[in-house]
């Protein structure tokens, strides 16, 4: 019996090649998309779970008051890591690390720029399960001037030689002189599903020798990250409540800090604080991609059901004859369900091949290293096969029972030649459902694209075009005035200025300022920015009142500049009223307000513009240099800057970036999400079009005689084509009415993740509907035109 079923299924697949190809293609694309998305989701949900005590590791973050609100920050003071074990001896471990950005590392004649270096506590390798290939994890980071490096770094500097005991020179961390560090361990590369990655781990004891103890005791120096391992009998809720008392006990005066806990395994998907170690993802992306995978599968199922129902009249005689010779309804239903599962089996094989072929491109978009390899992953293989056959059963169960329910007598008399009203209504309903999904996805893609463009191109209130930024060294800082003078001799360079931070980076430092307004002392904590002369002028930040910092005023060392938001936070009524106002820094330093500037985006657009105060930075206190150049001859200008650099700095290479590109890269997560979302939206629409193409073929075949009669009676080809296509266009219009509110509320929920966002406009929805009509028009129009051009005699000769 099963052998006979298999033969019939194979014969029907071959007999109706087009129908079979559409079903197999739709299911293959749907299952391949699901496999890729499942692989991605599995990776996202696995972040940081490879650590032995992952469920008991928590990151300690802190929240500070700024202006009228608060700001949650991922980084913390180094003092926190040394104080917590004293107040909470029951904690199993407390570890800190502090990152270095882009430093040169040398070994003999080999020199490379390393971007992922950190000072780490000695217990780092006890808390985090990063395996050492060579070395002892208990002692590798105990002594000063010790460094643990990854296998790749070891290969880069030492080749196949044993690096243990060799000395690496790490250039000027924080401008505090070179570090001569002995290699004490080699570890594997940190896994891709870790929320931080490091290539060189320098012992924290090294940092303590470099920096004064007062810096490590400063609660405001929040350049570190602190992690704790809770004992099994201490709940995170209990510990977090005790952290409130801890903060009140240790941090005195007006410096408000509230500490909180974040589960290690939640950081990648649920944490988007200021000063994150690396760009995290968002759980909403998991939800969206899961929904898209489900949508593509549903569309493939709808295609199968629709085509099976439309094709039912072609197989009605087969059903009638089999019933006449004794076949039971259940046997016929099982036969059709078996055909569905047979198609799914073929689709599973093709889906696996498609996923393997596309995973490389998928990885390039997401900047990941995912592997499909379901044969090596038993759980993934089981999930994929079960999902596939569930899809096959859901797709085939209705057509199977629908076809097996035909009345034998009516079928053999030929009275069942067309679909009943119920089946016709269901078929149209399924088409409407497909277009609701397709239009919703098109709207989503357009809004995601608009938001991404908005983030990249929004006016910041500062001119960042043609701006080159590079870090300053001690040598450059010492001779910055002469360095700047030489740069400005070049006609292509218009400005050069210094700052402690560069645009696009979070401002975690805050200053409590007090100003007298109407006889009352108003206080607010303001984001603090240290900038050099000409910084605000170079970026063309609008001056509302007063003046910028100037070398013409010797008192500017105590001068400050507010932005508009700072006035509101302090209760100052107008920019003009602020000029000449004395604002006190921590109640003991008087600063005169010499200027008020318009609000501008110094941080990313994820953050709301905060009340800001600008202090004048001494040249030697700089960290970054910004140079504004003309667009013409940019390479020549860069070569000139590098030449001037080398006349002063002969130890460090000149490393630069263009600020506009840096700012673009801040939104790389949205760009990747847009790319993947667009691809899967395209696949969903393509799958829907496959079904509509097949369905239109059967519809036109059923209406062949009607079309021929209309043509004989004088109906034009264009009119005939329009009549056929209009049936589908009507369904699209109905779909639009339903899809628009669903898409509107879904995208409004997604846009809530952004502090600054685009407005959803009516034309976005109109474009989506027009696009869907155009797609359907091309899909159906081809078949409609062929039917209209066909010779009427071919359809009517049997009458």
Tens-place pLDDT, residues 230-282: 998 889 999 998 988 888 787 765 556 788 999 999 999 999 888 888 888 88
Distance of CA 750 to the CA centre of its chain: 13
Tracing tokens 């055909």 back to the chain, one arrives at 339
Compute the half-sphere exposure of residue 667: CA atoms within 13 Å on the CB side of its CA. 25
Name the domain boundary from 589, 618, 651.
651
Give pLDDT, residue 230: 95
Task: Please check whether residue 184 is in contact with residue 135, taking contact to mean a CB–CB distance below 8 angstroms.
Answer: yes
List of residues 6+ apart from 727 with CB closer than 8 A: 699
Between 207 and 306, the more confident residue is 207
Q: Please choose, from the candidates 512, 617, 599, 497, the residue with its C-alpha nearest in 3D space to the C-alpha of residue 558.
A: 617
Q: Is 601 helix (H, G, I), strand (E, B) or coil?
A: coil
Position 174 confidence tier, pLDDT thresholds 50, 70, 90: low
Give pLDDT, residue 412: 53
Q: Is 57 helix (H, G, I), strand (E, B) or coil?
A: strand
pLDDT tens for each residue of 333-344: 667 677 777 787
Task: Please check whether residue 39 is in contact with residue 211, taking contact to mean a CB–CB distance below 8 angstroms.
Answer: no
pLDDT tens for each residue of 117-136: 999 999 999 999 998 999 99
Task: Please check whether residue 58 is in contact with residue 94, taking contact to mean a CB–CB distance below 8 angstroms.
Answer: no
- Give me 181's structure tokens: 């560090």
- 162 and 207 in a single domain? The answer is yes
**Poorest-confidence range of 463-472, 513-522, 544-553, 605-614?**
513-522
- Give me 278's structure tokens: 């690396």
Give CA–CA dist 604/669, Å, rounded: 13
Q: What mean pLDDT do residues 168-195 have?
A: 84
Task: Please check whether residue 444 is in contact with residue 287, taking contact to mean a CB–CB distance below 8 angstroms.
Answer: no
- 760 and 792 in a single domain? The answer is yes
- 432 and 510 in a single domain? The answer is no
In a domain, 616, yes or no: yes
Q: Which helix (H) or strand (E) covers residue 150, if one does?
A: strand 146-150
Between 577 and 14, the more confident residue is 577
Give pLDDT, residue 380: 67
Alpha-helix runs per DSSP H in 251-328 = 267-270, 283-310, 312-324
Name the domain boundary from 602, 620, 651.
651
Instruction: Please give the C-alpha separations between residue 618 and each of 182, 467, 480, 531, in angstroms, as whole numbers.
Output: 35, 22, 10, 8
Q: Please choose, from the candidates 576, 540, 584, 586, the residue with its C-alpha nearest in 3D space to the C-alpha of residue 560.
A: 584
| pLDDT exceeds cutoff 90 at 623 | no
List of residues 6+ apart from 83 with CB closer than 8 A: 250
Give pLDDT, residue 638: 92
- 503 and 443 in a single domain? The answer is no
**Poorest-confidence range of 576-590, 627-641, 716-730?**
716-730
Position 158 confidence tier, pLDDT thresholds 50, 70, 90: very high
pTM, entire model: 0.80
Task: Please check whether residue 227 is in contact with residue 60, taking contact to mean a CB–CB distance below 8 angstroms.
Answer: yes
Query: Which range has highest mean pLDDT (52-66, 167-181, 497-511)?
Result: 52-66
| pLDDT exceeds cutoff 80 at 744 | yes
Give pLDDT, residue 445: 87
- Give me 416's structure tokens: 């069942």
Q: Please choose, from the candidates 258, 224, 235, the residue with its C-alpha nearest in 3D space to the C-alpha of residue 81.
A: 224
In a domain, 240, yes or no: no
- 381 and 427 in a single domain? The answer is yes
Task: Please check whether residue 486 is in contact with residue 637, taking contact to mean a CB–CB distance below 8 angstroms.
Answer: no
Q: What mean pLDDT do residues 316-323 have?
A: 60
Task: Please check whether residue 563 is in contact with residue 598, taking contact to mean a CB–CB distance below 8 angstroms.
Answer: yes
- 509 and 635 in a single domain? The answer is yes
- Give me 66's structure tokens: 């700024």
Give pLDDT, residue 177: 67
Give pLDDT, residue 651: 76
- Give me 178's structure tokens: 């070179």
Give CA–CA dist 86/773, Å, rounded: 69
Per the DSSP assignment, residues forming a β-bridge with 200 are: 117, 149
- 506 and 538 in a single domain? The answer is yes
| pLDDT exceeds cutoff 80 at 696 | no
Crossing angle of helices 312-324 and 283-310, rounded to 10° = 60
Name the domain boundary from 232, 267, 297.
232
Cα angle for residues 698, 704, 707 (degrees, 5° grid): 125
Q: What mean pLDDT do residues 452-458 have?
A: 84
**Poorest-confidence range of 382-386, 556-560, 662-666?**
382-386
| Mean pLDDT for all residues in the chain | 81
Going by the DSSP 8-state scheme, the letter that residue 666 receives in this structure is T
| pLDDT exceeds cutoff 90 at 633 | no
Position 643 confidence tier, pLDDT thresholds 50, 70, 90: very high
Task: Please check whether residue 787 is in contact with residue 700, taking contact to mean a CB–CB distance below 8 angstroms.
Answer: yes
| pLDDT exceeds cutoff 80 at 90 | yes
In this structure, the number of other CB atoms found within 10 A of the CB of residue 267 comes to: 25
Exposed/middle/buried for residue 155 (C-beta within 10 Å: 0-12, 13-18, 19+): middle
- Give me 152's structure tokens: 């790749």
- 585 and 709 in a single domain? The answer is no
Task: Please check whether residue 26 is in contact with residue 303, taking contact to mean a CB–CB distance below 8 angstroms.
Answer: yes
Task: Please check whether residue 708 is in contact with residue 792, taking contact to mean a CB–CB distance below 8 angstroms.
Answer: yes
Q: Is 231 helix (H, G, I), strand (E, B) or coil?
A: coil
Q: Please choose, from the candidates 37, 30, 33, the residue with its C-alpha nearest in 3D space to the C-alpha of residue 687.
A: 30
Exposed/middle/buried for residue 654 (C-beta within 10 Å: 0-12, 13-18, 19+): middle
In a domain, 664, yes or no: no
Share of residues in the chain with pLDDT > 70 (%)? 78
**Poorest-confidence range of 36-40, 185-189, 228-232, 381-385?**
381-385
In a domain, 550, yes or no: yes
**Poorest-confidence range of 35-39, 323-327, 656-660, 764-768?**
323-327
Give pLDDT, residue 294: 84
Per the DSSP assignment, residues forming a β-bridge with 104 are: 113
Task: Please check whether residue 94 is in contact with residue 85, taking contact to mean a CB–CB distance below 8 angstroms.
Answer: yes
Rounded to a whole number of angstroms, the distance between the first and last alpha carbons of the chain is 40
Where are any strands of DSSP class E within 362-475?
A: 467-471
Between 588 and 489, the more confident residue is 489
Torsion, Cα 272 275 277 279, to 10 degrees, reads 40
**What is the extent of the structural domain holding 126?**
78-218+221-232
Give pLDDT, residue 185: 94
Instruction: Please give the C-alpha separations between residue 346 and each of 10, 20, 298, 340, in angstroms, as whole numbers.
Output: 11, 11, 18, 10
- 442 and 541 in a single domain? The answer is no
Give pLDDT, residue 714: 67
Give CA–CA dist 605/721, Å, rounded: 50
Task: Return the CA Rg of the chain.
Answer: 34
Q: Which helix (H) or strand (E) covers residue 517, if one does?
A: strand 510-517
pLDDT tens for each residue of 214-238: 666 777 677 789 999 999 888 999 9
pLDDT tens for each residue of 29-53: 888 888 888 888 888 999 999 999 9
Give pLDDT, residue 660: 87
Give CA–CA dist 322/408, Å, rounded: 9
| pLDDT exceeds cutoff 90 at 627 | yes
Q: What mean pLDDT do residues 321-331 have?
A: 61
Give pLDDT, residue 176: 57
Cα angle for residues 711, 712, 713 (degrees, 5° grid): 90
Task: Please check whether residue 93 is in contact with residue 84, taking contact to mean a CB–CB distance below 8 angstroms.
Answer: no
In a domain, 463, yes or no: no
Give CA–CA dist 370/350, Å, rounded: 19
Residues in the chain: 799
Distance of CA 3 to the CA centre of its chain: 50
The pairing of beta strand 624-629 with beta strand 493-499: antiparallel
- 293 and 349 in a single domain? The answer is yes
The pairing of beta strand 93-100 with beta strand 117-120: antiparallel
DSSP assignment of 462-513 equals: S--TTEEEEE--HHHHHTHHHHHHHHHTSTTEEEEEEESS-TTS----EEEE
- 720 and 771 in a single domain? The answer is yes
Give CA–CA dist 22/41, Å, rounded: 28
- Give me 106's structure tokens: 């040398």
Q: Is 582 helix (H, G, I), strand (E, B) or coil?
A: strand
In a domain, 67, yes or no: no
Q: What mean pLDDT do residues 319-344 have?
A: 67
In a domain, 517, yes or no: yes
- 687 and 589 in a single domain? The answer is no
Q: How many domains is the chain built from?
A: 3
Compute the half-sphere exposure of residue 66: CA atoms within 13 Å on the CB side of its CA. 23
């Amino acid at each position: 019996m099963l052998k006979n079923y298999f033969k019939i299924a194979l014969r029907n697949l071959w007999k109706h090649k087009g129908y079979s190809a559409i079903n197999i293609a739709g299911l293959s694309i749907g299952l391949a998309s699901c496999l890729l998305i499942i692989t991605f989701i599995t990776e996202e949900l696995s972040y940081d779970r490879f650590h032995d005590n992952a469920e008991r590791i928590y990151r300690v973050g802190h929240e500070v008051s700024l202006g009228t609100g608060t700001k949650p920050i991922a980084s913390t003071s180094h003092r926190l890591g040394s104080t917590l074990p004293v107040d909470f001896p029951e904690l199993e471990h407390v570890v800190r690390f502090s990152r270095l950005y882009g430093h040169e590392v040398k070994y003999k004649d080999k020199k490379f720029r390393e971007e992922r270096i950190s000072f780490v506590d000695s217990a780092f390798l006890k808390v985090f399960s990063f395996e050492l290939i060579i070395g002892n994890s208990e002692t590798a980071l105990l002594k000063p001037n010790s460094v643990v490096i990854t296998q790749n770094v070891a290969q880069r500097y030492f080749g196949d030689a044993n690096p243990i005991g060799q000395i690496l020179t790490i250039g000027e961390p924080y401008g505090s002189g070179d570090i001569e560090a002995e290699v004490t361990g080699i570890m594997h590369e940190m896994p891709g599903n870790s929320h931080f990655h490091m290539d060189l781990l320098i012992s924290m004891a090294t940092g303590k020798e470099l920096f004064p103890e007062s810096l490590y005791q400063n609660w405001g120096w929040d350049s570190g990250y602190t992690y704790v391992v809770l004992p099994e009998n201490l709940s995170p809720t209990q510990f977090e409540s005790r952290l409130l008392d801890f903060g009140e006990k240790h941090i005195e005066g007006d410096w408000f800090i509230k500490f909180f806990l974040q589960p290690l395994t939640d950081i990648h998907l649920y944490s988007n604080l200021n000063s994150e170690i690396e760009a995290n993802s968002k759980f909403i992306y998991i939800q969206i991609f899961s929904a898209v995978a489900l949508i593509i599968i549903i569309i493939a199922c709808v295609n199968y059901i629709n085509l099976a129902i439309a094709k039912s009249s072609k197989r009605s005689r087969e059903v009638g004859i089999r019933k006449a010779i004794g076949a039971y309804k259940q046997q016929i239903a099982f036969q059709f369900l078996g055909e569905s599962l047979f198609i799914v089996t073929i689709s599973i094989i093709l889906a696996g091949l498609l996923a393997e072929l596309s995973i490389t491109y998928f990885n390039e978009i997401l900047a990941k290293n995912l592997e499909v390899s379901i044969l090596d992953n038993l759980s993934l293989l089981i999930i994929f096969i079960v999902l596939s056959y569930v899809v096959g059963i859901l797709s085939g169960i209705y057509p199977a029972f629908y076809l097996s329910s035909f009345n034998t007598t009516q079928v053999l008399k030929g009275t069942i030649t067309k679909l009943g009203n119920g089946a016709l209504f269901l078929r149209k309903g399924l088409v409407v459902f497909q277009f609701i999904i397709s239009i919703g996805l098109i709207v989503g893609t357009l809004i995601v694209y608009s938001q991404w463009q908005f983030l990249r191109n929004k006016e910041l209130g500062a001119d960042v075009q043609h701006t080159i930024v590079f870090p300053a060294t001690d040598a450059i800082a010492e001779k910055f005035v002469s360095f700047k003078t030489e740069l400005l001799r070049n006609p292509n360079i218009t400005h050069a200025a210094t700052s402690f931070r560069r645009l696009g980076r979070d401002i975690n430092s805050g200053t409590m300022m007090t100003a007298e307004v109407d006889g009352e002392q108003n206080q607010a904590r303001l984001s603090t920015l240290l900038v050099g002369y000409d910084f605000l002028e170079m970026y063309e930040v609008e001056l509302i009142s007063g003046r910028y910092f100037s070398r013409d005023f010797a008192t500017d060392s105590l001068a400050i500049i507010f932005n508009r938001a700072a006035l509101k936070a302090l209760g100052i009524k107008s920019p003009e009223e602020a000029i000449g106002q004395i604002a006190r820094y921590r109640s003991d330093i008087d600063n005169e307000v010499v200027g008020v500037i318009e609000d501008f985006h110094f941080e990313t657009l994820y953050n709301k513009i905060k009340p800001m105060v600008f202090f004048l930075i001494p040249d030697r206190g700089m960290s970054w240099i910004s140079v504004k150049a003309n667009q013409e001859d940019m390479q020549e200008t860069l070569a000139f800057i590098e030449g001037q650099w080398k006349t002063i700095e002969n130890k460090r290479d000149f490393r630069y970036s263009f600020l506009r590109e840096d700012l673009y890269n801040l939104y790389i997560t949205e760009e990747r999400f847009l790319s993947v979302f667009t691809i899967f939206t395209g696949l969903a629409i393509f799958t829907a079009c496959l079904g509509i193409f097949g369905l239109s073929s059967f519809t036109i075949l059923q209406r062949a005689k009607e079309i021929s009669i209309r043509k004989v009676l004088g109906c034009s080809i264009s009119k005939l084509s329009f009549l056929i296509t209009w049936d589908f266009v009507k369904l699209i219009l109905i779909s639009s009415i339903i899809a628009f509110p669903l898409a509107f509320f879904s995208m409004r929920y997604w846009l809530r993740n952004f502090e600054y966002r685009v407005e959803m406009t009516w034309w976005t929805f109109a474009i989506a509907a027009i696009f869907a009509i155009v797609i359907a028009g091309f899909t159906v129009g081809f078949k409609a035109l062929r039917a209209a051009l066909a010779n009427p005699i071919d359809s009517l000769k049997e009458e």
